[in-house]
Structure 1
Amino acid sequence: MSAERAIEDLFSVCNALYKFTRKPTVAARYKGNTLKRLLEQRWTGHLATVEVILESFQEILEVLDHVENTPSFPADTRMEAAGLRSAVSKPSFRFHALVVQKILAILEPPNRMLQSEEMDLQTAVQLVNSARECILALRTEEVFMELWKECCGTEANDTASHQSKRKCSVNRNLNDYILEQTSGARPQENQIKEQQRLFYSCIDAVAGEIGHRFGERNSKLIESMASLNPESTSFLDPERIKPLLALTGTTVNEAEFVVARQRILKHTETFSPPNEEKWTIKTVLHHFHSSLEAMPSVITAYKAALTLGASTALCENSFSTLKNVFSEHRRSMLHTREACLIQLAFEKDLTRKCKTEWKDRLLRRFHSSGKRRLQLY
């Protein structure tokens, strides 16, 4: 959505409103909910910002009117209030806020579910793709008109708000004809078409970005994980699972996958998992763990699929291992070295075994992988 200048202007006004209501003289008069400071690095910050503004929209208008018409306030404060009042009172401002809220609110439930550290990558992708389908379902004229009428009120009020600034004279050349005026474009129609274009553009941009990042067709790794699900048509297909096992350096044993596929499918078609759940990668590994131990390549694939962190909490914990590294060093750290640090953080049972000379050799080998600003010695 950042490609649309109107959306950037929306959040610029939101930032200006936040700074304006933070002034002590204005805060004493403001009775609405506290406005949120925009956090540009996270989409949840954009959602929280527009939600508070929509909830306290009337209170914001009241405090802006009060400051603008009260001579006791400084001139620069009254001028700022007049400018914000003019920007906020436009129907397009509230419409843009409603569009952002409508789209980003769909991503909120998957975001909460992704907080769980037990979330695996395949389930996470399925949740995100489901949210993408819900966003695409908004791309209808009915949804657009519903949002637009919520901003402009009834058609009568909308027409009254767009009355011409001068009195139009009737064209006398059309007196002898049925038509009384030319059928040119109306300003109101042009505005609706522009807002409809922006509405569709925002939906296409968000859905396209999600599809580009999380589309199953664009990721061989996700296809490999999907092949570990008993409900998949390519269940335990060795060719599909090769990209996943390539990460662990494991050789694919096709005979093991054939036996495991027959064993698991025969059981899943007859029995259901405990607690009336569906068969997933986690339930399959938990239920067939003892029998899969005789098939090293198969059990390695299942463990690798569950090891890849997908939850936001797990990703934040991974980056928190670098909390002792200064920000300038973190920015200069390459992705390869950062991935090694994250792997060491997960494999704590192995790193605890590295003591005395082994620990020193490991650190020296890690440090010699390239030139780094951060010195380990």
Structure 2
Amino acid sequence: MEGFFKRKESSSGPNMVDLDKLPWDPADRIRILDYHPDQRDEIRRKYWLNGPCQPRGHNFPTKLIGKKKRRFVKTWFDDYGKWLEYSSGNYVGNQGGRDVFSQQGCHAWNKAIDTFETHVGDVNSAHNKALKKCEDLINQNQSIATNFHKQDDITKKANRIRLNATINDCRLLLKNALSFCGHDESKKSLCKGNFLEIMDLIMLHDKELRELPKAAGNNQYLSPSIQKDIANCFEEEVVSSILKEIGDDVFSLLVDESSDVSKKEQMAIVLRYVDAHGLVKERFVGLVHVMETSSLALKYAIDTFFAKYGLSLKRLRGQGYDGANNMRGEFNGLKAKILEENSSAYYVHCFAHQLQLVVVTVARKHLGVVNFFDNLSILMNIVCSSCKRTDILRYNEKERVEKEIGSGILETGSGLNQELSFIRPGDTRWNSHYKTLIRLVDMFPSIIRVLEYVKKECNNPSTQNQAFKMIGFLSSFEFAFYLHLMLHILGLTDILSRALQRKDQDILEAVLLVETTKGKLQEFRERGFDPLLEKIHLFCEKHNIEIMDMTENYISGGGPRAKRQRYDMTNQHYYKFDCFNTVVDMEIQEFGDRFTEINTKLLQNMTAFNPFDSFSKFDASILMRLCEFYPYDFDNGEKVVLAHQLDLYIDSVRKDEHFSNLSGIADLARVMVETRKHISFPLVYRLLKLTLVLPVATATVERCFSAVKIVKTNLRNRIGEDFLNACVVCAVEKEALESVTNEVVIDRFQKMKSRRGQL
């Protein structure tokens, strides 16, 4: 049974613990007395700074008491906000201890108010005495160390000035994702690092800071531990501001995992929600190191993160991941584990996760495509492995372009015929495979010349042999076929891939693009083989590649005749049915798997909200069907009221000129808030928000990993997990970082631990 504030006894010895890994749910905590004596005050301080565990968005379960169903009321958090906590842990043993909340907790909801008041008691009660001790612990001026070492007002003012300068320095470095430390931080060093260099610059232009008296005990607020504490303060304030924006509202979860430069698996967590102004926001809230990427480990990491910040899975209304098998599994994946707890957390595949890479990965299930891309990788290694070969490629390409311009084949003009390079496709670069194939077609004659040069002039026999085999492969019909097949498929998905990477992508436009792309793939499958074959023949004629007779029997392999095998089918049958149809069918099936039947209906119903053309697609019956997907958000009575609100809503917005030129449902939510129609039609606005939080098209999580690569580099690969998380959160959420004032940081910094200098 769920209840609040229960402690769990510890069976372990008094070992020192990591303060950042303390359990946040009261049901999982151990007694303070079970910790090491030297660490108890730090643990008390950490719990106090993070505040009570109050999951306001949780669906509090009911309990039959007498003849009535009772449950916890979240408004009690407002009345007893300083100390009241709620736990969803499982209780064992005696549950009747009203006077010992810290041991057994309480779930007698019919007598909760009386129990709370009795527990608080009078001024001298045990509760109020404990509360006073906690406040004294946080208040540095009440500590024994401070009273032994009294500091005058001049010293305190000097400490505050120094700390302000350090905070400004850290803010600049965090905002721009710059490193803090240097190779040699001594006073005479010319490589002090960004932090000390900027501090010297601040002192040069700040006369007041420069003329301060010498800090007592070298208390200058410049040490690496101080820098990390300030970074942590900024991170906590940024995340707190984001969670404050979400409040008790619904949101969606976006997760991706990738390894950093030191080969640690990192999981980025992004929350998508609609703020108080009706704006859709996707905010990065944390980077979590996971020892393994199994669905169970990822789910545990998410549960821990949610518990830490008081978030509830019950408020989740969407989830989007990168498509890896351990996260997409129908039964064992992370998606399924979350759906077990919340059936309204609909999974929508995050298409922006390198769509071109997904297309290539799916196609590589075909042996012919595998062979094509493996040879492409070898070709890249031969042509681009040395500066000399790259220069030869550029020179030959320049010579070819000049010749074709002179003969009138190419036109001249601004921006035309720029110098090209044969780029290597990368798993972390969007559209790179498509660009590589385009360059291969454009630079084909120059690439052949480089291979011929390597075959004749290279001193390495192995590389010479590779170049010889590669020339043979590039001169084959099979190469031309797979080159144009993959080029066409990647071209069809390129527009969708680019559109889904935009930050301002509208959900309805995304659905339309997906459906259009699926339709084009199906059309290509039914009528595209013959036009594709014509393009291949033109390419072969242009580059003197032998055109295959499609009526002859297919012969496998390109090696010696003894190893070839003749099949009882024509080349036409093999290339059309075994290659073309199979590869295209794989892509069509993959697109279908990304949008399940439930999600397709869900997204199609959302089109009824489209404000385009004076809400021409509005249909109240469709929106009522959409409402059925969210049983936790609309009870039977609210569904009746919603039907009436929809009739009034459509007449109201069609007559209001503010709604006449909207581009999408994201704009619709914003204008509803601006015109205060979200107050007049609260249920309509609630349904609209549920559609907006679904993460159909987003590249936010991918951009977070771009920040990780900037923060954690080869020269900075030993940065700790907590410091890395603080740096990345601040670097990504620059707007929230700017809104954090120095005073707020100073207050949190002072309360984190006992400080030598007082402010």
Same fold (TM over 0.5): yes
Is 1:129 the counterpart of 2:129? The answer is no
The structure 2 residue matched to 1:225, chosen from 599, 606, 617, is 606
Match of 1:14 in 2: 376
Aligned residues: 323
Task: Confirm or deny: 8 A CA contact 1:223 1:240 kept in the other structure.
Answer: no
Match of 2:479 in 1: 93
TM-score (norm 1): 0.68
Tell me whether 47-56 or 213-222 shows the greater mean CA deviation. 213-222
Structure 1 gap ranges (5+):
165-185, 327-340, 361-377
Tell me whether 86-95 or 59-68 shows the greater mean CA deviation. 59-68
Match of 1:281 in 2: 665
1:205 Cα deviation from its structure 2 partner: 1.1
1:108 Cα deviation from its structure 2 partner: 1.5
**What letter is aligned with 2:669?**
L
1:260 Cα deviation from its structure 2 partner: 2.8
CA distance in 2, matches of 1:128, 1:262: 31
In the superposition, relative to structure 1, how do residues 221 and 322 fare at CA in structure 2: closer, same or farther (>3 Å)?
farther
**What letter is aligned with 1:106?**
L
**What letter is aligned with 2:535?**
E
In the superposition, relative to structure 1, how do residues 71 and 110 fare at CA in structure 2: closer, same or farther (>3 Å)?
closer
Is 1:193 the counterpart of 2:573? The answer is yes
In the superposition, relative to structure 1, how do residues 321 and 262 fare at CA in structure 2: closer, same or farther (>3 Å)?
farther
Match of 2:644 in 1: 259
CA distance in 2, matches of 1:219, 1:300: 21
CA distance in 2, matches of 1:161, 1:205: 24
Match of 1:204 in 2: 585
Structure 2 gap ranges (5+):
1-362, 398-419, 554-565, 714-728, 750-759
Match of 2:594 in 1: 213
Match of 1:158 in 2: 547
1:206 Cα deviation from its structure 2 partner: 1.0
1:34 Cα deviation from its structure 2 partner: 2.1
CA distance in 1, matches of 2:567, 2:537: 15
CA distance in 1, matches of 2:450, 2:708: 45
Match of 1:177 in 2: none
Query: Could you report, residue by residue, the CA deviation over 1:101-130 in whole angstroms, capped at 9, with x for unpaired residues?
Result: 111111222222223322233431221111
Tell me whether 252-261 or 88-97 shows the greater mean CA deviation. 252-261
In the superposition, relative to structure 1, how do residues 83 and 48 fare at CA in structure 2: closer, same or farther (>3 Å)?
same
- Structure whose CA Rg is larger: 2
Q: How does 1:344-355 map to 2 (within 5 A)?
A: none
In the superposition, relative to structure 1, how do residues 71 and 108 fare at CA in structure 2: closer, same or farther (>3 Å)?
closer
1:16 Cα deviation from its structure 2 partner: 0.8
**What letter is aligned with 2:374?**
S
CA distance in 1, matches of 2:583, 2:648: 48
Task: Output the aligned Cα RMSD.
Answer: 4.5
In the superposition, relative to structure 1, how do residues 44 and 234 fare at CA in structure 2: closer, same or farther (>3 Å)?
farther
In the superposition, relative to structure 1, how do residues 242 and 118 fare at CA in structure 2: closer, same or farther (>3 Å)?
farther
Higher strand share: 2
Q: How does 1:291-302 map to 2 (within 5 A)?
A: 291-302=677-688
CA distance in 1, matches of 2:708, 2:604: 31
Look up the SS of the partner of 2:505 in the other structure.
Answer: coil
TM-score (norm 2): 0.36
1:209 Cα deviation from its structure 2 partner: 0.8
Query: Could you report, residue by residue, the CA deviation over 1:135-181 in whole angstroms, capped at 9, with x for unpaired residues?
Result: 1111235x3223223333489963689999xxxxxxxxxxxxxxxxx
Query: Could you report, residue by residue, the CA deviation over 1:242-282 in whole angstroms, capped at 9, with x for unpaired residues?
Result: 43574xx565722442233212333567788767566x423
Match of 2:425 in 1: 38
**What letter is aligned with 1:200?**
N
Identity rate, percent: 18
In the superposition, relative to structure 1, how do residues 268 and 235 fare at CA in structure 2: closer, same or farther (>3 Å)?
farther
In the superposition, relative to structure 1, how do residues 232 and 11 fare at CA in structure 2: closer, same or farther (>3 Å)?
farther
1:325 Cα deviation from its structure 2 partner: 9.2
In the superposition, relative to structure 1, how do residues 73 and 228 fare at CA in structure 2: closer, same or farther (>3 Å)?
same
In the superposition, relative to structure 1, how do residues 106 and 282 fare at CA in structure 2: closer, same or farther (>3 Å)?
same
Higher helix share: 1
Look up the SS of the partner of 1:34 in the other structure.
Answer: coil
In the superposition, relative to structure 1, how do residues 71 and 302 fare at CA in structure 2: closer, same or farther (>3 Å)?
closer
